[in-house]
A and B are shown apart, each in its own frame.
Chain A
Amino acid sequence: GQNIDQPTEMTATEGAIVQINCTYQTSGFNGLFWYQQHAGEAPTFLSYNVLDGLEEKGRFSSFLSRSKGYSYLLLKELQMKDSASYLCAVRDSNYQLIWGAGTKLIIKP
């Protein structure tokens, strides 16, 4: 079966750094996506990785290791507005997205 695992909930302090991990087992791989979803709102696209390595975009970075079936999202200089759920999704051999259940990130002052 296909499976995406990520922690259910994480807590971090404003101004700090947090790493959200995602491991996957899918039938084929055609890229990995990270989305942010604030409570009661639509998911919004954050990043896309298809090759191994780190992609940096401002305060957010995403890393991929295809051989390990592993990715992480790194958030730096945390702000209160970063409190949200972070969804990991893998595009499989049929080009459909397989989603994780999301990691709820709580930022404390």
Chain B
Amino acid sequence: ETGVTQTPRHLVMGMTNKKSLKCEQHLGHNAMYWYKQSAKKPLELMFVYSLEERVENNSVPSRFSPECPNSSHLFLHLHTLQPEDSALYLCASSQDPAGESYEQYFGPGTRLTVT
């Protein structure tokens, strides 16, 4: 399998549930990202991991908890979410974020609905 994969593609969960989103990249990159995409809004950067260390979290609520066990895998653990958290969650990877002309490669996203 190539590129960036995400599972599940769709998720419906209640506000009291706990679930996890998974991302895997097969590109040999050393940085991974979680974004939230809501309709008609800019992509919101949630978390950045570079060389498996978190470098950015942009004041994301604690009900979102990231985990990066190695450079190829990234998880987003979800608990006690709110309806306004319903969105498309995109994972991306890249080479060194400060490198010349680095571009981010995105996974297909997980469409999350919180009921």
Contacts and interface: CB of A to CB of B under 8 A. Distances in A.
B69 interface: no
A29 interface: no
A97 B104 contact: yes
Chain B's interface size range is 20 to 34
A43 interface: yes
A45 B105 contact: yes
B106 A96 contact: no
A101 B45 CA distance: 13
Nearest to A48: B101
Contact of B108 (A33, A41, A50, A99): A41
Interface string B55-86: 01000000000000000000000000000000
21 contacts: A4-B42, A31-B101, A33-B103, A42-B106, A42-B107, A42-B108, A43-B43, A43-B106, A44-B106, A45-B103, A45-B104, A45-B105, A89-B43, A96-B48, A96-B97, A97-B43, A97-B45, A98-B42, A99-B43, A101-B40, A102-B42
The 4 closest A-B pairs by CB, nearest first: A42-B106, A45-B103, A99-B43, A99-B42
Interface of A: 4, 8, 30-31, 33, 41-45, 48, 50, 87, 89, 94-102
